[in-house]
Amino acid sequence: MANEVLSKELFIVVGGKTVARATSYSFDVSQDVIDTTTIHNTGYKEGIAGDLSWNVSCDGLVTRGTVTGESSYYDLLQHMKTNKQPVEVMLESKTAADEYEKGPALITSISKSGGTGEVVTYSVSFQGVGALTTVTVPTPI
């Protein structure tokens, strides 16, 4: 099977709702390195694997209405201001047998910008606050 490009199939789901009109996203996973260098090392630092962390950021178009099943900029802002609880973020695909990532995250920042004669856009960042898991899209029966 040939490799497929997933960029048009991937979307971000927050709290069960697709983030409305996302135009781009970034997904980062990193691992801390715990320094285990001793006075007996050979001149090179030594280390072992530490904790994992992850974050997601995306950009989108601010819309006037909300399509059923989609979150708007305003939903995300309201959640950040009042709820202060993690949302479940999924970088999801609808193609059977594809794998995608999901996990709990806090909304860490959200901004909106626009200009005369331009569309209004937003940027939102999420910081993972728990385990990131890999899920396989079920194959239809």
**Strand residues in 20-86 grouped as ranges (E):** 22-35, 47-61, 70-71
Residue with more model confidence, 97 or 117: 117
Q: How far apart are the C-alpha atoms of 99 and 105, rounded to whole Å? A: 19
Residue 19: predicted pLDDT: 77
What are the structure tokens assigned to 124, written together?
């939102």
Instruction: Give the closest residue to 11 by CA, choosing from 121, 94, 99, 108.
Output: 94
> pLDDT higher for 65 or 37?
37
- Extract the tokens encoding 62: 């601010």
| Cβ atoms 89, 103 nearer than 8 A | yes
Answering whether pTM is above 0.75, one says yes
Average pLDDT on 10-21 reads 72
Which of 29-38, 53-62, 69-78 bottoms out in mean pLDDT, i.e. has the lowest? 69-78
For residue 94, the model assigns a pLDDT of 66
Taking only the tens place, the pLDDT of each residue in 60-91 is 888 776 667 777 888 888 888 998 889 888 87
Answer whether 133's CB lies under 8 Å from 89's CB: no
C-alpha to C-alpha distance for 114 and 135, rounded to whole angstroms: 36
pLDDT computed for residue 66 by the predictor: 64
pLDDT per residue over 99-138, tens digit each?
A: 888 899 999 999 999 999 998 999 999 999 999 998 887 7
Q: Residue 37 contacts by C-beta under 8 Å, 6 or more apart in sequence?
A: 45, 46, 47
Cβ-defined contacts of 80-83 (< 8 Å, 24+)? 80/107, 80/110
pLDDT of residue 141: 63
Residue 48: pLDDT band (50, 70, 90) is: very high
